[in-house]
Amino acid sequence: MVDAFATYENLELRLNRVFTVAERPWITALLEDASTYLRDDVLGLQVYPQSTSTVTLWPDGGRVDIPTQPLISIDAVTRGGDAVEYVQRESTLWVPIAFASPAVTTATRVEKPVSVTFTYGFATAPASLVRWTCVLVSQALLPIEANLGLTAGGLSSVQLDDFRAAFADAGEMSGIALSDKNIALLREQFGVRQAYVVGSR
C-alpha cells in the first residue's frame, strides 16, 4: 500500500463534500496515485513517511555525502563494525581518513568505506504536499465523474445540455500532472538532489 500525502478526509474538507463509504477506496487510490506522482516523478525523494536506512559509502578526502533528504538525523557511523567520530554539516559528514591499503602510492589510495545509518523523511506529510495531492485529485475528479476517464487534461469548460467539453490545451495536461512551473517550485522548496536512497532496512 502506498503512503498517500493526503487522506479522503483532507479532500472532503477542501471540496466541502462527504464521500460515501463505497467511494472512499476509489478516492484513496487516486490520492495514492497523486502522491506517487509527487514523490517519484516530481521530487524523487522519500519525503514521507519517515524511514531509516543503512548505506555503505566511500569517503572522498574524509567527506561523505548522505544520498537523500530531508535528512532528519544521523543514527550511527561505523567502519569495520567500529564507531567512527564524525562532524556533520547538513547532509555532509566528515570522517577521519583511513586508507584501504596504505602501502599503495598516494595517487591510487582508496579510503575505507563507512556504514551510515540515518533517518530521513518527515513523520507527518508536509502541508504543501497534502494540498497539492488534493489539488491533483480534485482536477482529476471532474473528467472522471463526467465519464471522460483519467486522461482528459486541460478541461476549460463544460456545457450540460447536449453535453460538451472544451479543452484549453488540447489535453496536454492529461491525468494527474502539474505544470512545469509548479514542478520547479516544489523541487526548489524541497531542495531536490540527484542521488536517492533506493532501499532501507
Torsion of CA 156, 13, 51, 111, to 10 degrees: 40
Q: Flag whether 201 is in a domain.
A: no
Whether residue 170 sits in one domain with residue 151 = yes
Q: What is the pLDDT of residue 198?
A: 38
Whether residue 98 sits in one domain with residue 43 = no
Q: Flag whether 107 is in a domain.
A: yes
Q: What is the pLDDT of residue 114?
A: 96
Average pLDDT, integer, range 161-187: 71
Average pLDDT, integer, range 79-102: 91
Q: 164-167 and 71-79: which strand pairing? A: unpaired
Q: Flag whether 195 is in a domain.
A: no
Cell of 89: 554539516
What residues contact 120, with CB distance under 8 A and at least 6 apart? 46, 50, 51, 52, 53, 66, 68, 69, 70, 71, 72, 197
Whether residue 176 sits in one domain with residue 150 = yes
Question: How far is residue 17's CA from residue 135's CA, in Å, rounded to a whole number?
Answer: 14
Average pLDDT, integer, range 98-108: 68
Asked which of 120, 147, 181 is the last residue of a domain, the reply is 120
**Range of the structural domain that residue 104 is part of:** 51-120
Asked which of 95, 120, 145 is the last residue of a domain, the reply is 120
Q: Flag whether 196 is in a domain.
A: no
Cβ 79 vs Cβ 113: under 8 Å: yes
Q: Flag whether 197 is in a domain.
A: no
Whether residue 87 sits in one domain with residue 113 = yes
pTM of this structure: 0.73
Q: Flag whether 57 is in a domain.
A: yes
Cβ 137 vs Cβ 27: under 8 Å: yes
Whether residue 63 sits in one domain with residue 34 = no
Q: Which of 41-45, 134-138, 148-152, 194-198 has the lowest mean pLDDT?
A: 194-198
Q: Flag whether 194 is in a domain.
A: no
Whether residue 134 sits in one domain with residue 77 = no
Q: Flag whether 175 is in a domain.
A: yes
Whether residue 98 sits in one domain with residue 153 = no
Whether residue 183 sits in one domain with residue 131 = yes
Q: What pLDDT digit, counting tens, does each position of 13-51 carry?
A: 999 999 999 999 999 999 999 999 999 999 998 899 999
| C-alpha 92: how far from chain center | 20
- C-alpha distances (whole Å) from 183 to each of 37, 97, 129, 132 are 11, 40, 12, 11
Q: Into how many domains does the chain fold? A: 2
Question: How far is residue 70's CA from residue 45's CA, in Å, rounded to a whole number?
Answer: 8
